[in-house]
């Protein structure tokens, strides 16, 4: 596979498992190897917010806003989780990272 999709899925899984550091590492690796795809940036922002890594969270949210100036949590489709509790955890990470 020549894209970061598998890294992104693994990073999202690590968030669900509560291993935010591993999620950050996997998302950053995907960005380094494959570029800053929006879904990967979203996963990285959520993981950083949940980990309390303000520097990574803020930088990632700024990158998202540069690519998509109108991006906001309430306009995102419910991804990558179907379970309400998982989605709420993910959203809380995005909020902590500074995504409106």
**26 neighbors 7 (Cβ within 8 angstroms):** yes
Structure tokens at 11: 């990073």
Tell me what pLDDT residue 1 has. 46
Higher pLDDT residue, 100 or 77? Answer: 100
What does pTM read for this prediction? 0.91
Scanning 1-100, the segments in alpha helix (DSSP H) are 5-17, 20-34, 38-51, 54-67, 84-97
Tell me what pLDDT residue 2 has. 54
- For 68, the 3-state DSSP assignment is coil
Tell me what pLDDT residue 54 has. 97
Pairwise CA distance, residues 6 & 73, whole Å: 23
Tell me the pLDDT tens digit for each residue of 40-81: 999 999 999 999 999 999 999 999 999 999 999 998 877 767
**11 neighbors 43 (Cβ within 8 angstroms):** yes
Tell me what pLDDT residue 36 has. 87
């Amino acid at each position: 596979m020549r894209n970061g999709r598998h890294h992104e899925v693994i990073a999202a899984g690590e968030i669900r498992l509560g291993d935010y550091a591993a999620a950050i590492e996997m998302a950053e690796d995907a960005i380094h190897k494959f570029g800053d795809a929006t879904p990967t940036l979203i996963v990285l922002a959520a993981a950083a917010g949940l980990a309390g890594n303000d520097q990574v969270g803020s930088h990632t949210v700024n990158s998202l806003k540069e690519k998509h100036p109108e991006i906001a949590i309430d306009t995102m489709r419910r991804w990558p989780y179907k379970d309400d509790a998982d989605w709420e955890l993910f959203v809380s990470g995005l909020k902590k990272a500074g995504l409106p």
